[in-house]
Structure 1
Amino acid sequence: MANRFPVVMRSSTQLCHEWKERSSAYGWAFPSDWHVPAVDAVCDAITADADVWAAAERLGRKRAAAGVSLAETLVDIDGLAAVAPSRYTEPLRRAVSLGWADRITAPPSTVADPLTGLVTPEYLNIRLGESYRAAEVRGECVSVRSALVVIRLDLSSRTGWQRTLPMILVGDAMRRVFDAGQSLALLGDAVAVALSDRDNMLARRARLLCSMITHQIELDPEVSVPPPSVWIETLPRKYSTAVDLMAELGR
């Protein structure tokens, strides 16, 4: 893609800022999750006139792990290409694409997150597939018997341990409320879900979970975050759409 704007070299920080502005203008869906350490590595390489390949591959893997589609990832790279020297455009697109594909096709390294004890999105997708196949055999829609309870915390202004500890509390509360073999998964830094039976107790469990998490947050002096958002999410009719939904919820 040809540069549409004059290229003026900046410091790494300035380049990062201009890239983010351009990416937002091109339609990046979630501005709060745009910045990751790999972004800084890419900007450092460009401003140092160095090889950008390794940093761009890392960025591609990070975007895939965060559930960002390849199309959106490459539109983001087009935003960088608009403010970086044109010789970087093709290497950036190729390296990011390879990194993205590498992460998507790699087997999960573990079934559960070691801190929260919640299973990975990859494992949840396997359990979802089982639910959809069972519903197909019964000749019914999967949402008749199954649903998701989604828990989201606002951790946007927290870093380090202040981002990790609240989700540990969430995992503990989820295991106490959903203690009958439900799949409890960590979808992102601030989002968890429970794949549960849709019965007449589900709404009550969701309310109880919200109350328990709020209570634990209030009691812990090391945690200072707003109360959680907890809701019941209806599963879509198709499994492929459910996988996309998990990626979207985790962002």
Structure 2
Amino acid sequence: MANRFPAVLTTSSELSREWRSRSSDYGWAFPSDWHVPAVDAVCDAIVAEADVWAPAERLGRSRAGAGVSLAEALVDVDGLAAIAPPRYTDPLRRAVSLGWADRITAPPSTVADPLTGLATPEYLQVRLGEVYRAAEVDAEPISSQWALVVLRLDLTRCGGWLRTLPMILVADGLRRVFDGGESLALLGDSVAVVLCRRTDVLARRARLLCSMVSDQIDRDPQVCIPAPSVWIETLPLNYRSALDLIAELGR
């Protein structure tokens, strides 16, 4: 039988790189959001031949918070299990599953992200529910009244504080351009959205947002990332589909 834990993977970072490569091969949707601190904790535990349960639970909670389905989270973990000692396979899957379930069923503790001040995905879900109910009363298609302006950053090469700083700049730009009571939300560590009314100047405001954030990024010597992607997303016909949409956007 082939060695499931090759001797060349002697450090946590080497194990993480191999795991990430396998996850990409297995079809992880957005490579830029794969790495989270819990990944390092899981790899540290395996390399040290320690108990993996607590860090794997953290990983499950992190994946759920980012909108990753349980099935996708487990496929990702299977990529790690393929190169880790066999005794870790079952604890990894069970702990990630429990952590994922805990995060999904836990009530939101706040309505705003503490660093950016942008609303949480949970708040946006509530706000969308209100908007869809109002559109139903008005008997008007939701897509003709409301839209999402989406901004996504490529943070693939950033780590630690350098993943947080760009989104603080994004939050400042959002508040400058959309200052009329629109709902501004953070969907992930690289995605922010605005729930706003469709108007004749919406496309112009989206372009202004892109330009303003790009300028802030260019002027900050600590931030070296590509210009943001900004687009207007049409809301689907029903609320359930809208929830699926924001979960996907947050990936």
Tell whether the structures are fold-level matches, with TM greater than 0.5. yes
Show the counterpart of 2:176. Answer: 176
Which deviates further from its counterpart, 133-142 or 197-206? 133-142
Is 1:117–1:171's contact at 8 Å kept on the other side of the alignment?
A: yes
Indicate the residue corresponding to 1:132 in structure 2.
132
How far 1:165 sits from its partner (Å)?
A: 2.9
Q: CA deviation at 1:6?
A: 4.2
Gaps of 5+ in 2: none
Give ranges in structure 1 of 5+ residues lacking alignment.
none
Contact conserved, 2:32 with 2:154, CA < 8 A, in 1? Answer: no
Tell me the equivalent position of 2:34. 34
Contact 2:31 2:156 in 1 (8 A): no
1:4-19 to structure 2, matched below 5 A, reads 6-10=3-7, 11-13=10-12, 14-19=14-19
Matched with 2:61 is 61
Greater displacement, 6-15 / 138-147 = 6-15
Question: 3-state SS of the aligned residue for 1:71?
Answer: helix
What is the one-letter code of the residue matched to 2:5? V
The residue that corresponds to 2:76 in the other structure is: 76
1:177 maps to amino acid? V
Summarize deviations over 1:186-227 as a string: whole Å, max 9, x none: 112222111000121211211222222233334444444332
Contact 2:117–2:171 (CA under 8 A) maintained in structure 1: yes
**Equivalences for residues 87-166 of structure 1 within 5 A:** 87-166=87-166
Residue 167 of structure 2 corresponds to which residue in structure 1?
A: 167
Displacement, 1:64?
Answer: 0.9
> Following TM superposition, by how much is the alpha carbon of 1:91 offset from its aligned partner in structure 2, in angstroms?
1.6
Distance 2:32 2:164 in 1: 17
Identity %: 72
1:188-227 correspondence to structure 2 within 5 Å = 188-227=188-227
Distance 1:220 1:17 in 2: 29
- CA change 1:35–1:5 in 2 (3 A) is farther
Residue identity opposite 1:8 in structure 2: F
Alpha-carbon offset, residue 39 of structure 1: 1.8
Partners of 1:199 and 1:152 in 2: CA distance: 22
Other-structure match for 1:248: 248
The TM-score with structure 1 as length reference comes to 0.89
8 A contact 1:148–1:195 mirrored in 2: yes
Deviates more, 1:112-121 or 1:164-173: 164-173
Q: In the TM superposition, what is the alpha-carbon distance from 1:81 to its structure 2 partner?
A: 2.0
Contact 1:9 1:47 in 2 (8 A): no
Please report how far the alpha carbon of residue 100 of structure 1 lies from its aligned counterpart in structure 2 after TM superposition: 0.4
Q: 1:220 to 1:23 in 2, by over 3 A?
A: closer
Tell me the residue number matched to 2:46. 46
Aligned amino acid, residue 59 of structure 1: L
Which deviates more from structure 2 when the two are superposed, residues 175-184 or residues 21-30? Answer: 21-30
Tell me: CA distance 1:221–1:66, structure 2 relative to 1, closer, same or farther (3 Å).
same
Distance 1:226 1:80, change over 3 A: closer
Name the count of aligned residue pairs.
248
Cα distance between partner residues in 2 of 1:222 and 1:85: 40
Root-mean-square deviation (CA, aligned residues, Å) is 2.1
State which drifts further: 182-191 or 235-244: 235-244
SS of 2:147's equivalent? strand
Moved >6 Å (runs of 4+): none
Aligned AA (1:84)? A
